[in-house]
Chain A
Amino acid sequence: DAGVIQSPRHEVTEMGQEVTLRCKPISGHDYLFWYRQTMMRGLELLIYFNNNVPIDDSGMPEDRFSAKMPNASFSTLKIQPSEPRDSAVYFCASSLKWDRKNEQYFGPGTRLTVT
């Protein structure tokens, strides 16, 4: 299994531009999570999906952020317009289930730099 796949691995963009991050979860996993990691705030859960349906988006910082999961094998996290404070590493993770014992598998992350 290839694991969770994210693209791009690095993204540098100018303030005000739209940014789209992509994720392919592990095949057969019902749950997909988007995280953000910064030095100041550590890891933060932004949103998670179950069977392609957003369940909890309370971690999404602003309306500039949106996430979609059009099918079981693809999800996007979009930032529009981007700001320098959005610079962070964004991780996608997937899980077969989401209960007390199930593992989450993280992708390699996308390092976003907004200048």
Chain B
Amino acid sequence: KNQVEQSPQSLIILEGKNCTLQCNYTVSPFSNLRWYKQDTGRGPVSLTIMTFSENTKSNGRYTATLDADTKQSSLHITASQLSDSASYICVVNRNDYKLSFGAGTTVTVRA
């Protein structure tokens, strides 16, 4: 069973709208949690990195939150743009630097 579960699997939103992606994990011990954006045909690009002591981290219109107690994270996209269409991957890093990857959420932004 995957230790990092993402939801929804995919979503479609209209340009200018907001959306929130979810990531639940069971990885332990926990070191940090990363959100990556992957455009079609390209490698993933890091959006945010949060350690267990951080609750929120922003990168432009992207805001990630982390609740280490409930082992949940979210990625909020504000005022979506067409260029936000991509796959968003949640990655949890253990203390020994083993990585656990979520399956990703595919976001499609339509004009």
Query: A interface vs B, CB < 8 Å?
Result: 4, 42-45, 56, 91, 93, 98, 100-101, 103-104, 106-109
Contacts and interface: CB of A to CB of B under 8 A. Distances in A.
A104 B91 CA distance: 12
Given A43-B89, A45-B99, A107 B43 contact: yes
A100 B89 CA distance: 18
A4 B43 CA distance: 10
Contacts of A42: 89, 101-104
Contacts of A98: 97
Contacts of B45: 106
A70 B31 CA distance: 30
Contact of B93 (A4, A100, A106): A100
Nearest to A106: B43
A4 B45 CA distance: 12
Contacts of B91: 43
Contacts of A43: 44, 89, 91, 101
B49 interface: yes
B51 interface: yes
A16 B47 CA distance: 39
B88 to A, nearest CB: 12
B43 A108 contact: yes
A56 B99 CA distance: 11
Contacts of A100: 31-32, 49, 51, 93
A44 B43 contact: no
Contacts of B93: 100
Contacts of B58: none
Contacts of A4: 43
B26 interface: no
B18 interface: no
